[in-house]
C-alpha cells in the first residue's frame, strides 16, 4: 500500500464532493489501486458551515505554510475557483515541488502556458481532467489514447446550465425567462447567470481544448461567443419544423496549419449524435483523421461527477510517484 | 526525439491499417509526442499481396528469432488474430522483454490472467485498447480517469456487424436474411457470420470488460449469450409500437460483492443513450457510483479506427520507456 497525502484548497461544493467521494470510495480505491489517499490538510477559512461531512477541525488551516511547507503533502488539489488567487496558489504549490490537480477552467484558460510550462519545468505533474466536461473522461483520452490522430474538428455541449434551459424550452414549450427562473430555484443556474448563459464558462473550456487539441493558444475573450439569451420560442419552433434542435455548441476545426473556433447556438439535425444530449448532460464530439468520429457523454457538473475526475487525476499521480 | 521500434505480427486488415496510419500520421505524432515510431520488422508469410502500401521487402520475416532476438525492437504489435498461436507469440515477446500491444479480443478473453500476469511479472507493458470498441477509448478511461468509482453496471453495443443488421431491419423494414446478405456483399459481415451474429465476438469483449470493470474472471463460453439470428420483422415492429428499438447488448451489473453478465437482444426505449447508436457504430454505457452515467461512442471496427487505438497504446508505451 502506498500512502498519498493530498491538501484540498477550498471546501466549497466541489471540495466537499471530493471529500465525500473519498469517504465513500477510499477503501475501494485502495483495494483496486494500492493507493491509500488521505486528506492531510484543508485550506479554508469557513470552518463552521455544515457540509454534511465529518471533518476533523485539526485538518483546517488558513496558513499557506501549512500546505506548501509540509513535506508530507504530495498533491495540492486546487478547488478554490476564480483566476488570480487560485493561480498564485498553484504557482506556489509547483514551486514547493507539489503535484497539482485542479478543476479550475477559468484559471487554466487565463494562464494555460504559464501553468503547464512552470509545472513541466519544475518536474511536477499538473492535471485538470475536471476542468472540461466534469466527470466525463475527455482530457485523458485526448492526451493519451487518441494521440495517433490529427484532430480535424470538435463540437462540444459543455455547459449544463444552458443545455438544461434549451432542453426545457424545446421539450416543454416554455420561454427562456421562465425556464431560467426555475433553473435558479433548483440550483442549476446561479443568481447571476451571465457566466453561463452568455457563454463565458464555455469559452474557458474551449480555450483549454484549443491548446490541447489544436496546439493553438486562444484567450477566452478572443473566442467569438454568442450565448442563449436571445433565443426565442419562435427559434425553438422553427428548429422543430426543420427536424432540428437548438444547442449551444463550442466548435473548432482545423484550417490549414491553424485552427478556428467559435461559440454559438446552432441548429443540429435530430440525427446528430449531439442532438439527443439533453438536460444537464454534456458531450464532446470530436473527429480524428484515423479514428473518425467519437463522442464522450456524461454528467458535466455536480460535486460527485467532478470529484470522480479530480480523484482520477490524484490516482494517476499517486501511481506515478514514489 | 526518441526512437521507438515496433514489430508488427500479421499484416492483414488491421496490420495494414496500422502501417497506413503510421505513414499518414508518423510526422504528426513525432511533432506532438517526440516519438519517432518505426516499423522495424513485419512477421508475415504473405509478402506478395497488394495491400496498397509501400513496404520494403527487407522488413518481412517468417523467422521468430528476427523479432524476439532483435534487441532493437521495443514493442511487439500482435495483429495475427486467433487464440493459440497469437497467445504463444505474445508469451514469447514477453519472455524476450518486449512490450506488447494487441487488438486480439479472443486471445485476451481466453488467457486474460495468464497474459496480464506474465507481463506484469516480467516488468513489461501489455496494452489492448483496440480489443474492445475498436477506436473508441474505453480500456484507457476505465483503467485511469474513472478509477475513483465503484462501477455499478455497463451496457455495450460492441459488435458492428450485428448493429448494422439490426439498424437496417429497423430503418428499412427488410428481414434478417436479406440484410445479412447485403452486409456480406459490402464486406461488413464475414462469409461465415456466426462469430458475430451468434454473439461470440461480443462474449470475448464482455469477458475482458468483466475482468477490468468488476475484477471477475468469466470465460466467454460461460457468458449466457443469445445472438440475433432469431429476430424477426414482427419483433422489430413490436418494438417500434412500444417506442423502442432492438439492440444486441452486452450487459453486466454489480451484485453484492460479485457481478453478473449476459448478452442478448434487448428492447431499448428510444430515449436511452444507446438507442441512437446505429449502423456500424459502437458504444459503451457505464455507470459509476461517483460519476453516474457515461457513454463512449464511435467506430468500433475498421482498419484506421482500430489502428488509432493500437498506435495510441504504442505511443503510451513509447513515452513510458527509455
pLDDT tens track for B161-217: 999 999 999 999 999 999 999 999 988 888 999 999 999 999 999 999 999 999 999
B177 vs B169: CA distance, rounded Å: 10
> How many H-runs (helices) and E-runs (strands) does chain A carry?
12, 11
Q: Cell 518481412, residue?
A: B60
Q: A26 CB near a chain B CB, below 8 Å?
A: no
> Collapsing DSSP states into helix, strand and coil, what is residue B3?
strand
- The DSSP annotation for A259-319 comes to EEEEEEEEEEETTSGGGG--TTEEEEEEEETTTEEEEEEEE-SSHHHHHHHHHHHHHHHHH
Query: The complex's ipTM?
Result: 0.96
> Collapsing DSSP states into helix, strand and coil, what is residue A152?
strand
The predicted structure's pLDDT at residue A60:
98
Contact A32 B136 (CB under 8 A): no
CATH class of B2-135+303-320: alpha beta
Tell me the CA distances in angstroms from B72 to A282, B33, B38, B91, B299, one per residue in order.
Answer: 45, 20, 11, 18, 34
At how many degrees (to 10) do helices B176-186 and B160-172 cross?
130
The dihedral through the CA atoms of B213, B217, B219, B225 has a sign that is negative
C-alpha cell of residue A163: 443545455
Mean pLDDT computed over B257-280: 94
- pLDDT tens column, B71-81: 999 999 999 99
C-alpha cell of residue A231: 433565443
Nearest to B312 among A29, A146, A307 (CB): A146
Q: A288 CB near a chain B CB, below 8 Å?
A: yes
The predicted structure's pLDDT at residue B187:
82
First and final CA of chain A: distance in angstroms?
12
- pLDDT tens column, A264-289: 999 999 988 899 999 999 999 999 99
The predicted structure's pLDDT at residue B271:
84
Q: A32 CB near a chain B CB, below 8 Å?
A: yes
**A61 falls in which pLDDT band (50, 70, 90)?**
very high
The predicted structure's pLDDT at residue A257:
87
Mean pLDDT computed over A29-58: 96
> Collapsing DSSP states into helix, strand and coil, what is residue A208?
helix
Interface test with B, best of A147, A254, A269, A293 (most B CBs within 10 A): A147
Judging contacts by C-beta atoms under 8 Å, the chain A residues touching residue B33 are 147
pTM above 0.90, yes or no: yes
Cβ neighbors of A124 (< 8 A, separation 6 or more) are A94, A97, A98, A99, A100
Q: CB of B67 within 8 A of CB of B7? A: yes
Contact A291 B273 (CB under 8 A): no
- pLDDT tens column, A129-145: 999 999 999 999 999 99
Burial A287-315 (b: 16+ CB within 10 A, else e): bbbbbbbbbbbbbbbbbbbbbbbbbbbbb
The predicted structure's pLDDT at residue B131:
98
Nearest to B141 among A141, A297, A313 (CB): A141
Judging contacts by C-beta atoms under 8 Å, the chain A residues touching residue B27 are none
Contact A24 B289 (CB under 8 A): yes
Superfamily of domain B147-298: Dihydrodipicolinate Reductase; domain 2 (3.30.360.10)
The predicted structure's pLDDT at residue A253:
98
Burial category of B251 from C-beta neighbours within 10 Å (exposed 0-12, middle 13-18, buried 19 and up): middle
C-alpha cell of residue B2: 526518441
User: What is the CATH T-level fold of the domain A148-299, as seen in this structure?
Assistant: Dihydrodipicolinate Reductase; domain 2 (3.30.360)
Q: CB of A312 within 8 A of CB of B144? A: yes
Q: B196 CB near a chain A CB, below 8 Å?
A: no
How high is the mean pLDDT of chain A?
97
- pLDDT tens column, A76-116: 999 999 999 999 999 999 999 999 999 999 999 999 999 99
What does the domain layout of chain B look like in residue ranges? 2-135+303-320, 147-298
User: Does residue B2 carry a catalytic annotation?
Assistant: no
Q: In degrees rounded to 5, what are phi and psi of residue B301?
A: -160, -175
H or E stretch at A212: helix A200-214
B11 vs A316: CA distance, rounded Å: 35
Contact A140 B141 (CB under 8 A): yes
Predicted confidence (pLDDT) at residue A162 exceeds the cutoff of 90: yes
Which residue in A205, A216, A287, A299 is the catalytic one? A205
Judging contacts by C-beta atoms under 8 Å, the chain A residues touching residue B144 are 137, 140, 144, 312, 315-316
**A3 falls in which pLDDT band (50, 70, 90)?**
very high
Distance from the Cα of B126 to chain A's closest Cα (Å) equals: 14
Q: How far is CA A281 from the centre of its chain?
A: 13
CB pairs under 8 A between A and B: 171
C-alpha cell of residue B53: 502500401
Judging contacts by C-beta atoms under 8 Å, the chain A residues touching residue B32 are 147, 215
C-alpha cell of residue B11: 499484416
Predicted confidence (pLDDT) at residue B322 exceeds the cutoff of 80: no
Which residue in B98, B105, B168, B205 is the catalytic one? B205
Q: A148 CB near a chain B CB, below 8 Å?
A: yes
Judging contacts by C-beta atoms under 8 Å, the chain B residues touching residue A145 are 129, 137, 140, 309, 312-313, 316
Q: Hey, what's the torsion of the CAs at A206, B285, B298, A112, to 10 degrees?
A: 20
Contact A307 B29 (CB under 8 A): no
Amino acid at each position: 500500500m502506498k500512502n498519498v497525502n493530498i491538501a484540498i484548497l477550498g471546501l466549497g461544493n466541489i471540495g466537499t464532493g471530493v471529500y465525500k467521494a473519498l469517504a465513500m470510495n477510499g477503501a475501494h480505491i485502495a483495494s483496486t489501486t494500492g493507493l491509500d489517499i488521505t486528506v492531510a490538510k484543508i485550506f479554508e477559512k469557513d470552518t463552521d458551515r455544515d457540509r454534511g461531512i465529518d471533518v476533523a477541525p485539526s485538518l483546517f488551516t488558513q496558513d499557506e505554510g501549512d500546505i506548501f511547507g509540509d513535506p508530507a503533502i504530495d498533491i495540492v488539489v486546487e478547488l478554490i475557483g476564480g483566476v488570480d488567487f487560485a493561480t498564485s496558489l498553484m504557482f506556489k504549490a509547483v514551486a514547493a515541488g507539489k503535484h497539482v490537480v485542479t478543476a479550475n477552467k477559468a484559471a487554466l484558460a487565463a494562464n494555460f502556458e504559464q501553468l503547464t510550462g512552470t509545472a513541466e519545468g519544475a518536474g511536477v505533474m499538473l492535471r485538470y481532467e475536471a476542468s472540461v466536461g466534469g466527470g466525463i473522461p475527455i482530457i485523458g483520452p485526448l492526451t493519451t489514447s487518441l494521440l495517433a490522430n490529427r484532430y480535424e474538428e470538435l463540437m462540444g455541449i459543455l455547459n449544463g446550465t444552458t443545455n438544461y434551459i434549451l432542453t426545457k424550452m424545446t421539450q416543454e414549450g416554455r420561454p427562456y425567462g421562465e425556464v431560467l427562473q426555475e433553473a435558479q430555484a433548483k440550483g442549476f443556474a446561479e443568481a447571476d447567470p451571465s457566466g453561463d448563459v452568455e457563454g463565458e464558462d464555455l469559452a474557458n473550456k474551449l480555450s483549454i481544448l484549443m491548446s490541447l487539441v489544436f496546439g493553438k493558444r486562444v484567450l477566452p475573450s478572443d473566442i467569438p461567443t454568442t450565448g442563449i439569451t436571445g433565443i426565442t420560442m419562435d427559434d425553438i419552433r422553427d428548429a422543430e419544423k426543420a427536424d432540428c434542435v437548438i444547442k449551444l455548441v463550442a466548435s473548432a476545426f482545423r484550417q490549414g496549419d491553424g485552427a478556428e473556433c467559435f461559440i454559438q447556438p446552432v441548429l443540429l439535425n435530430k440525427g446528430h449524435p449531439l442532438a439527443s444530449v439533453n438536460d444537464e448532460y454534456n458531450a464532446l464530439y470530436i473527429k480524428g483523421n484515423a479514428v473518425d468520429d467519437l463522442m464522450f457523454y456524461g454528467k458535466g457538473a455536480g460535486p460527485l461527477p467532478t470529484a470522480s475526475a479530480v480523484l482520477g487525476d490524484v490516482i494517476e499521480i499517486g501511481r506515478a510517484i514514489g
